A and B are shown apart, each in its own frame.
Chain A
Amino acid sequence: MAEIIVKYENKVIERIVTEQRRLSIGRTNENDIVLENRGVSRKHAIIEFSDKAAVVIDNESLNGTFVNSRKATEEVLRDNDIVTIGKYQLVYNSQNTNPADDSVGFDGTMMLNTKAQRNLMKNDNKEREMVERYGGSLLLGGENTYFSEYRIDRDVTTIGKAKFVHVQAKGFILSKIQAKIVKENDYYNLVNLGRKGKTKINGEPIDRQELKNGDLITVGKSVFKFVKGKK
């Protein structure tokens, strides 16, 4: 599985997760990734994926394809490489997930290394400002390209795959109701309910644990950041 984040003038406008072996990029409708600006050729480039690597190939486009600001005709992509086409930037992420590894490094320390997690960290200040204005506690993040925000103002907030939960999460190994956040006075406890998948705080699977400000909650493939408010 590979992820391509499409940016326009440094703003994330779309996130594409694909299991296809080949993605075409261009201005016209028949492409897999359509970039509608005149600086983009009709059939501008393709990205080919193998099990271990991805290669971007420029299709003799008029304005060229650039990898990390260098003009490229054919180039192997590594995680977080930036492909520039016209005014668009495509950020590549292999999303190679090895189920045995479970995000713990060789020395046993936890690695916060997915794009989603880093983005959440980066937007820290903005979030703080948002929470200060709102006053209450929030969950930030989720499946969308831009921020999703879930207010934790109920006594029990449910998280999972089902349509009826308060906060929807994505992923394959995930229960309908995977977890709940229980509000008790000023404390918020995250409780795992799912039988299929794990609920993690900062990468560690938990059964029941108090949430602290800034904790990263992983449910399935979705990552949420808990921000504690004053209310």
Chain B
Amino acid sequence: MKIALISDIHGNLEALTSVLEKIDQLQVDHIFSLGDVIGYGCDPIACMNLVDKRASVKLMGNHEYAVLGQLTTNSYTPAAKISTEWTKKQLTDREFTMIAEYHMIHEFEKVTMVHSSPDKPDRWQYILDATQAKHAFEHFSGNICFYGHSHMPTIFREMPDDIPRQQVGHNFDPSDDTRYLVNVGSVGQPRDHDARACFVTYDSSNNEIRFHRVKYDTAKTQEKMNHAGLPDVLVQRIAVGL
């Protein structure tokens, strides 16, 4: 089975549309969304509708959790706080109901999927280094855990009696006797100095993990964000992938 994993769309409709076009060319069996469909960007509802139509599994992200009022935004940056409030105002009861049905974690075959970390998914912890990865490896049972949250395409490989090995996300063929944590990057707000939208495909029949980058019309997204009055720092960062 071939699946596409998309995460951290963040209300960026142009990025999502371009990614879905690319996914159509790749002929996948399923699309899984790993959360944070909304927040930061100016098209939360359009993105939610598209994800609802296309994705077989929809997971909860911290931005969804925040608009549901389940999470305080005290620790958020000022721009994130403003965008959360802005997003909340756009959503109607219909969307809140849709979000409430998003799952925290999903498992299929030997694969786990979660937005932030398989350990207490509702605590929204980051997996950024080998120590955090080592901890996360103890909290899922299968071979591969796909996650998002940090917007950094990354691969951690579990090493026997050692700290996990960390690599920047790139195409690889996972082996059956090794466990991996794979950050699928971000569709709508990449932060690895590459502005192109990022997503991952996993083909379980021939064990292939592929990272894809898709160019999209960032200028159009920026114009719409400006028009919506979203904070400048959010508008600027999507063009440089920061």
Contacts and interface: CB of A to CB of B under 8 A. Distances in A.
A13 B160 CA distance: 21
Contacts of A149: 242
A6 B165 CA distance: 13
Contacts, number: 52
B158 to A, nearest CB: 9
Contact of A145 (B168, B174, B237): B168
A155 interface: no
B109 interface: no
B240 A130 contact: yes
B177 interface: yes
A13 B168 contact: yes
Nearest to B159: A29
A210 interface: no
Nearest to A30: B160
A8 B170 contact: yes
A28 B240 CA distance: 37
A14 interface: yes
B240 A14 contact: no
Interface residues of A, number: 24
A12 B194 CA distance: 13
A38 B187 CA distance: 28
B168 A12 contact: yes
A27 B176 CA distance: 12
Contacts of A87: 171
Contacts of B165: 14, 34
A8 B171 contact: yes
B175 A36 contact: yes
Contact of B174 (A9, A12, A14, A36): A36
B168 A29 contact: no
Given A11-B170, A13-B167, A13-B170, A29 B193 contact: no
A187 interface: no
B172 interface: yes
A3 to B, nearest CB: 16
A37 B170 CA distance: 11
Given A29-B175, A130-B193, 9 more contacts: A6-B167, A11-B170, A27-B175, A29-B177, A34-B165, A130-B242, A133-B236, A133-B242, A134-B236
Interface of A: 6, 8-9, 11-14, 27-29, 34, 36-38, 87, 126, 129-130, 133-134, 145-147, 149
20 contacts: A12-B168, A13-B169, A13-B170, A14-B165, A14-B167, A29-B175, A29-B177, A34-B157, A34-B165, A36-B175, A37-B172, A38-B173, A87-B171, A130-B193, A133-B237, A133-B239, A133-B242, A145-B168, A146-B192, A147-B193
